[in-house]
Amino acid sequence: MKKGRKKRRKEARIWYPQQAFTAESDIVKAYRNKFNVDKICAMRELVMLGLLPPEKQQAYQEELAARDRELAMKREEKRRLKEAAKADSFGYLDEDQDEYFYYIAGYTSGGAPYGITWEEARRNGYLDEDEMEEARRNGYLDEMEEPEEMVFPDDELPF
């Protein structure tokens, strides 16, 4: 628990009995004004302290639980949208790939990536059938025939 909350709760235990609240009193508003916190914080701390009448305690607990569920759903939706946007932008979630490079080995001092392009990866056989199909679907590779295997006579090896 944060130090500020601990201090407020300690002070609130002394402050609350001095106020002589009635059933109609807006305890949350008084707490907000005294301790300079927002409504949710005041409700949460009053519930923690158990200083509210039972019906208000129950109502605030339900309101806080509903708010927490709503925030959790919003966070989850935001996370899903972020993941979907990342997946849609390149089709791959690997950070070492983009629409030009199958594998980004590094970046120049000017920030330009270098590595193996999709076409080089296709020519050299780095892509399996699923990756080839995915790369074509995303437009990384042209609809080309598979490269023929290069055959060199024994006396004309390129190296």
Residues of the chain with confidence (pLDDT) below 70: 1, 85-95, 143-159
d(CA 20, CA 101): 71
The SS3 of residue 44 is helix
pLDDT at 94: 63
In this predicted structure, what is the pLDDT of residue 47? 87
What pTM was estimated for this model as a whole? 0.46
129 contacts 151 by C-beta, under 8 angstroms: no
- Would you state the pLDDT for residue 119? 85
Query: Could you tell me if 101 and 138 are in contact, meaning their C-beta atoms sit under 8 angstroms apart?
Result: no
Half-sphere exposure of 67 (CA within 13 A, CB side): 11
Q: Is 50 helix (H, G, I), strand (E, B) or coil?
A: coil
Q: Output the pLDDT for position 152.
A: 55
Round to whole Å and give the CA distance between 141 and 14: 72
pLDDT at position 93 is 46
